[in-house]
Chain A
């Protein structure tokens, strides 16, 4: 039966509020195959994976598992059908040992647990994977990379038929990536299908038997091993027909003075790097997800411990805590809006006014009226819909929530705005408005650091572009020197082909 595909997707469509994320994808994954999945942001990769693992259900189309149509209604259902996934943020029980985590849910013994048998079995699994790790260590003390490897080890007992690996090397070193590739070879030998999502072309060339490139919600091509070349992939990935974004930063707002100067900033996952941003300038920071660009944003926002120095408008500042970063004039607008930037059960007005409460207060009290007037003004300028400042934030759409986050910081008068993935999860209609708001910040004299994995967005919005790959800066140049294809090639390979 080796010729029949294990999983077959037929004409899958998925629509979100009128926008089609998938427009009829037909694909098949065979047993014992490593199948690479490539595509720009918004091409439909994550939607496809979420359908496979039961998070979303498709609007139209069919999924066949071993030739039989199946409905994957929830993640546990996917689990039961033998479809599993390892996501970038690995989940382990931190107070359990490595061994207990590896066998969680599949412990040997009926009622009584045999602690020694459990740890012996875990040690055998790790030895087979070629990982040198003490099974008695607590998971909470592991490094991020070790956690990732332990998470992979848990797959050995779950009897999956298909495993989705989403950017599995994002947290691994070169040596650890080799371990991962050996594990994948092991899964292949057992006849498990692997769907391998990566932005790193070298990995795809090395381990994938086939690679499918998605573009604009459609399959633009499937390449066999050996056909995966930078040129072919770039050609299939770039959507020539997609209308160019109507917003374009022409760069006239750039002022001659430096707003943010960063010297040799480094964290545990970021090699020392230096750069500066002028007032009125937008610096685009791009690269593969997990490659270090988010780490830079978190370091500058005072969230991640770092070394190196920074100065804002010529004054050296300390950025050890979010409070210090804030008073230094740096506003961080994080990617995970709901968790890190908004208070979902408070009203829009309460959210917007939070950073400026001091200036709104009279005699230690803030009147609801002055809060509402201020919030209404901000919401009108940003065209937030519905224009009702007393509505709780959780009732706004993703795009309007993003406007509220920006609105929250806008009039707080920061010198530097760090905006991370501003259009992630934002409805198409609101994207242009958000771009205009961000460019408005720059026109107002602020420096903007736009951290985004979307190349199109970076090329439209930035004055200069810096690429961060594997925790290091690999290229930096003014926008006019970049073409889309070249930027794509650098973010995929991490190698700048141009001479310095």
Chain B
């Protein structure tokens, strides 16, 4: 007789049960964070690296030229510009935003340095190009924070503007570097022993970025702001400052990339910078799965770029057509990020960006 149940008398429930419940909560939540098997934990941490090593071994079996020092040198050399741009983008994605203007920042810095070199000399030209890159980052950062605009919209707009300016300055033609600029050309074409100078520049920038990201306030606060801006705000952190810095670092690294690509090719190309953008996003998200971090980090990004270029070189040697390489890279990106998402399952997934 439901309608009479509970009506007409007060039901008393022992409320001593409640602390036990709360403690249960603590226990179950704790264990759910830890109950994964050792194999799962290994996969989460080392899965991407294992795939890279396996792919490397596969190429080494298929082609005798793949696993050689000279090919490693080639791969490293070809990935320099992309690696710099990708490491730059890593800062912005860490801070929780997007930067679509990086590719065009490379082009802009490249054109500026080539254009100014006959006028002000190589060193001042480099400084001006790098400062200009930082200004681009500053504009992006200020518009995203104080301007309250979305990172995608702002950097898309800046990308178009830069493209217009570049074509306007150059008239659409490449800007050659004079053969007499030997010091400048040494940056991209010189060698120290068997290692190319730009490879050394890349490794130095990488080392500095890695230290800044893992050992200083810069990386710490940018990561905090990107993960939970509200918590950072209530902790007295100047959230805007760190978001702006992330955009400036991104543009600065793209600026370095622009100078090196100019030196390598002895000229500045007014078009083609957009290609770096897509590679950089692929590398950053692939890199986020490295070591099971689940969020972008500098070392992971470098590993991601290396993987993309290693596959490129390997497939080239084995004789795959150019188109097949993109298909493979795209699938690897989706599978790696997807597998990582499966390992780090959230209860409800309602984010589609």
Which residues of A come within 8 Å of B, CB atoms? 75-76, 79, 91-96, 100-101, 104-107, 111-113, 115, 137-138, 140-146, 154, 158, 171-176, 256, 258, 261, 268-271, 273, 275-276, 278, 305, 464, 469-478, 481, 494-496, 498-500
What are 15 A-B pairs at a CB distance below 8 A? A76-B236, A79-B234, A96-B223, A104-B237, A158-B235, A171-B22, A173-B23, A268-B21, A268-B24, A268-B28, A305-B347, A471-B21, A477-B7, A478-B7, A499-B10
Residue contact B10 to A472, C-beta cutoff 8 Å = no
Are A481 and B10 interface neighbours, CB within 8 A?
yes
Q: Complex: how many Å from CA A498 to CA B33?
A: 43
- Find the residue from B6, B20, B23 having the highest chain A CB count within 10 A: B6
- Partner of A498 from the list B7, B10, B24, B236 (CB cut-off 8 Å) is B10
Interface residues on chain B, number (Cβ under 8 Å): 48
B19-A500 in contact (CB<8A): no
Nearest-Cβ distance from residue A415 to partner chain B, whole angstroms? 15
Quote the shortest CB–CB distance from A134 to chain B (angstroms): 10
B18 touching A471 by the CB < 8 A rule? yes
Q: Which residues of B contact A154 (CB under 8 A)?
A: 235
Q: Which of A107, A175, A268, A478 touches B8 (beta carbons < 8 Å)?
A: A478
Specify the chain A residue showing the minimal Cβ separation from B20. Answer: A173
User: Nearest Cβ in chain A — how far from B226, in angstroms?
Assistant: 9
B25 and A268 contact, CB distance less than 8 A:
yes
Contact B228 A472 (CB under 8 A): no
Is A276 a contact of B5 with CB atoms below 8 Å?
A: yes
Q: Tell me whether B13 and A474 are in contact (CB under 8 A).
A: yes
The reply to whether the CB of B37 lies closer than 8 angstroms to some CB of chain A is no
Q: List, in ascending order, chain B residues with CB within 8 A of A276's CB.
A: 2, 5-6
B21 x A270 contact (CB < 8 A): yes
Docked CA distance A475–B19 (Å): 18
A94 in contact with B228 (CB, 8 Å): yes
Q: How far is the CA of A75 from the CA of B230 in the complex (A)?
A: 12
Chain A residues lying within 8 Å of B220, measured Cβ to Cβ, are: 100, 107, 113
Report the minimal beta-carbon distance from A175 to chain B, rounded to whole angstroms: 6
Kindly state whether residue B17 has any CB partner on chain A within 8 Å.
yes
**A96 CA to B235 CA, complexed, in Å:** 14
Query: Which of A105, A112, A171, A498 contacts B235 (CB under 8 A)?
Result: A105
The answer to the question of B241 belonging to the interface, with a C-beta cut-off of 8 Å to chain A, is no
Given A141-B33, A271-B17, A500-B9, is A173 in contact with B2 using a C-beta cutoff of 8 Å?
no
B172-203 interface code vs A (CB 8 A; 1 in, 0 out): 00000000000000000000000000000000
Does residue B216 face the partner (Cβ distance < 8 Å to A)?
yes
Which of B8, B216, B227, B347 contacts A93, CB < 8 Å?
B227
Q: How many A-B contacts at CB < 8 Å in the complex?
A: 163
The 4 closest A-B CB pairs, nearest first, are A173-B22, A141-B33, A105-B235, A470-B18
Within B11-42, which residues are at the interface with A (CB < 8 Å)?
Answer: 11-15, 17-30, 33-34
Nearest Cβ on chain A to B9's Cβ, whole angstroms = 6
Point out the residues of chain A lying under 8 angstroms from B27, CB to CB: 143
Given the complex, which residues of B lie within 8 Å of A171, measured CB to CB? 22
Docked-complex contact B10 and A496, CB < 8 angstroms: yes
B235 to chain A, nearest CB (A): 4
Q: Does B148 contact A (CB under 8 A)?
A: no
Query: With a CB–CB cut-off of 8 A, which chain B residues contact A95?
Result: 223, 227, 294-295
Tell whether, in the assembled complex, residue A173 and residue B26 are in contact, meaning their CB atoms are under 8 Å apart: yes
List of A residues within 8 angstroms of B24 by Cβ: 268
A79 touches B10 (CB 8 A): no
As a 0/1 sequence over residues 329 to 345 of chain B, the CB contacts with chain A under 8 angstroms (1 = contact) are 00000000000000000
Pair B22/A145 contact, Cβ less than 8 Å = yes
Please report which residues of chain B, range 260-309, place their CB below 8 angstroms from some CB of chain A when the two chains form the complex.
294-295
In the bound complex, do residue B21 and residue A477 qualify as a contact, i.e. CB atoms below 8 Å apart? Answer: no
Q: Is the CB of A476 within 8 A of B10?
A: yes
A496 CA to B246 CA, complexed, in Å: 58
Q: Do A278 and B234 have beta carbons less than 8 Å apart? A: no
> Distance in Å from the Cβ of A94 to the closest Cβ of chain B?
6
Whether B2 pairs with A258 at a CB distance below 8 angstroms is: yes
Distance between B210 CB and nearest chain A CB, rounded to angstroms: 13
CB of A145 within 8 A of CB of B227, answer: no
Kindly state whether residue B231 has any CB partner on chain A within 8 Å: yes
Given A146-B26, A268-B24, A269-B21 in contact, is the A473-B3 Cβ separation under 8 Å?
A: no
Contact yes or no, A143 B29, CB < 8 A: yes
Instruction: Give chain B residues whose Cβ lies under 8 Å from the Cβ of A498.
Output: 10
C-alpha spacing A469/B294, complex, angstroms: 39
Contacts of B15 in A (CB 8 A): 469-470, 472, 474, 494-495
Let me know if A477 and B9 touch, CB within 8 A: yes
| A63 to B12 CA separation, bound complex (whole angstroms) | 46
CB of B94, distance to nearest CB on chain A (Å): 10
**How far, in Å, is A202 (CB) from chain B's closest CB?**
11
- Contact partner, A144, options B12, B25, B228, B295, Cβ 8 Å: B25
Tell me if B224 is interfacial: C-beta within 8 Å of chain A. Answer: yes
Distance (Å) between the CB of B150 and the closest chain A CB? 15
Chain A residues whose CB sits within 8 angstroms of the CB of B60 once the complex forms: none
CB distance from B96 to the nearest CB of A (A): 11
Q: Is the CB of B237 within 8 A of A141?
A: no
Q: Is the Cβ of B10 less than 8 Å from the Cβ of A500?
A: yes
By a CB distance below 8 angstroms, the chain A residues around B231 are 91-93, 101, 104
Q: Which residues of A lie under 8 Å from residue B233 when comparing CB positions?
A: 75-76
User: With a CB–CB cut-off of 8 A, which chain A residues contact B22?
Assistant: 145, 171-174, 176, 269, 471
On chain B, the residues within 8 Å of A107 by CB distance are 217, 220
Q: Which residue of A lies closest to B12 (CB)?
A: A500
Complex CA distance for A85 and B287, rounded to whole angstroms: 38
Distance to closest chain B CB from A494 (angstroms): 5
Quick one: closest B residue to A111, CB to CB?
B216
Q: Is B232 an interface residue (CB 8 A)?
A: yes
Q: Distance (Å) between the CB of B95 and the closest chain A CB? A: 13
For A495, the chain B residues whose CB sits under 8 A away are 15
Residue contact A141 to B13, C-beta cutoff 8 Å: no
Given the interface pairs A79-B236, A104-B224, A105-B236, the reply to whether A475 lies near B25 with Cβ below 8 Å is no
User: Which A residues lie within 8 Å of B224 (CB)?
Assistant: 93, 96, 100, 104
